[in-house]
Amino acid sequence: MLSSNWLLIINKAKRCFLMKFIKKFVRFLFEFLAISFLLIYSFYRKIFTRKKLTKVIFGTSPLINNKYWSDALSKIGVESETLMATYCPYINQKKDYDKYFDDVVPKFFRKGYMKKLSYLFFVWIYIINNAKIFVMPFCGVVFTGCFWKIEYFLFRINNIKVMVLPYGADAYMYSKVVDVSLQNALLLSFPCAAKNEKRIEDKVFFWSKHADFTMSGFMCLDGMPRWDTTIHQFISINTKEWKPKNSYLLNDGKNGVVKILHTPNHRGFKGTEFLIKAVDELKEEGLKVELVLLEKVSNERVKEIMCDVDVLAEQFIATGYALSGIEGMATGLPVLANLDNEIYTDIFRRYSFLNECPILSTRPETIKDNLRFLITRPELREELGKLGRQYVEKYHSYKMAQYLFANIFKSFEGENIDLMNLFHPLKSEYVQNDYIKTPLLNNKYVVEE
């Protein structure tokens, strides 16, 4: 005979299983009903409504670059807005984005489990009634269950163009990552994505086939089947919000302290432990160096600190640079990031503007040497810092976003735009104008003998 305790445990497990089953069934039923009505509404609107839509909507993951892209387009007269599921309170502010899912859902439905279910319907009604172009990551809009592919048909029926821009977790297929060290770093910081690889892969290949436009940056080497513009980093920022340094300290680690800033939200992915070890060893050598470590702080706080440091050490495992590196260059800081792996970088040296980038390429094995090199050469820090500001103004500013998106939108209207060669060094006027020459060769400093 089972004891009463075991009977209680079994009964509790049964109730838990039953509740999960009921929730899944309710969601399935609601999704089916929502899709049915959305399809009927879409066909009705297609036949009987002649209203021409003009809005570009960026959604739905709370990435700050969505705000910047939307704002950049608004400044040249494009009707644009952001529509987010939520926001990250320790990084962003709620006011960073124009609308949230709750804003398009009637108050009556914003309660408990009903709220998430209502998103499936009301968010899509808002998109159908407003969007001409929708920009999203590979994870899609709101349908996440077995009906996620229906979003493609809703876009098509309503003549909404779809741009798919990955941010990382939505598109990394771990078994296809070329660099095993990067795969290890992803497993350290985002282990759950490995268990969901098949679902991620399905969405990447589906949207790569059906999207009207997609680009992948450095991720294109890690199993991405398609990109429509060859560009290694497409993030833009508002350079007016990031003022460059007015002056540079002449500290060289002997006559004064040199401050190194590092801003990891995920230490394993950034290679933080290698930086900490390198700084400790430089201190043991007698150099005056201070590591400023910022984690999960607001963008405004990062902006303040950047004006008070000398070097930004961004990332050392993944090939490339991200938002922090762009913000560092915008502030006029010399930046360290990993641009060593030629499997990832060669394509962007040949077909894009990577050779103009003034980042000093650094991997875990060269952190200490490169830090020492910059610490003891304040003049080089200033030179690379000023070149970094020029680089961001040219390639990661609102001007760049406007140029990129305007050409994409022209191609949507039928113009013959050579998007694949938009940044080809030998074919692109945008690249050739005010070409940035750095003292680096393949992002490494060659000491003249």
Q: Looking at the domain assignment, is residue 364 inside a domain?
A: yes
Q: Looking at the domain assignment, is residue 106 inside a domain?
A: no
Among the listed residues 265, 255, 241, 249, the one whose alpha carbon sits nearest the alpha carbon of residue 398: 241
Lowest mean pLDDT among 6-15, 40-49, 77-86, 106-115: 6-15
Q: At what angle do helices 112-130 and 150-157 cross, to 10 degrees?
A: 30
Kindly report, residue by residue over 152-176, the tens digit of the pLDDT: 999 999 999 999 999 999 999 999 9
Q: Do 381 and 374 form a contact (C-beta atoms < 8 A)?
A: yes
Rounded to whole angstroms, the Cα distance separating 155 from 140 reads: 11
Q: Looking at the domain assignment, is residue 128 inside a domain?
A: no
pLDDT band at 21 (very low <50, low <70, confident <90, very high): low
pLDDT band at 240 (very low <50, low <70, confident <90, very high): very high
How are beta strands 161-164 and 213-214 bridged, if at all? parallel
pTM given for the model: 0.93
pLDDT band at 300 (very low <50, low <70, confident <90, very high): confident
Q: What count of other Cβ atoms lies within 10 Å of the Cβ of residue 118?
A: 22
* Residue 28 backbone dihedrals phi, psi, to 5 degrees: -60, -45
Q: Is the pLDDT of residue 188 over 50?
A: yes
| Torsion sign (Cα): 315, 67, 86, 303 | positive
Rounded to whole angstroms, the Cα distance separating 349 from 357 reads: 10
Burial (CB count <10 Å: 0-12, 13-18, 19+), residue 152: middle
Kindly report, residue by residue over 360-416, the tens digit of the pLDDT: 999 999 999 999 999 999 999 999 999 999 999 999 999 999 999 999 999 999 999
Longest dimension (CA), the chain: 87
Burial (CB count <10 Å: 0-12, 13-18, 19+), residue 417: middle
Q: Match 């009301």 to its residue by tokens.
A: 122
Q: Looking at the domain assignment, is residue 268 inside a domain?
A: yes
Q: DSSP state, 444?
A: E
Q: Looking at the domain assignment, is residue 73 inside a domain?
A: no
pLDDT in the model for residue 1: 46
pLDDT in the model for residue 112: 74
The boundaries of the domain holding residue 361 are 239-396
Q: Looking at the domain assignment, is residue 344 inside a domain?
A: yes
CATH number of the domain residue 304 falls in: 3.40.50.2000
Q: Is the pLDDT of residue 26 over 80?
A: no
Q: Looking at the domain assignment, is residue 214 inside a domain?
A: no
Q: Is the pLDDT of residue 9 over 70?
A: no
Return the H-helix or E-strand segment holding 117. helix 112-130
Q: Is the pLDDT of residue 25 over 90?
A: no
pLDDT averaged over every residue in the chain: 93
Q: Looking at the domain assignment, is residue 420 inside a domain?
A: no
Count of the separate structural domains present in the chain: 1
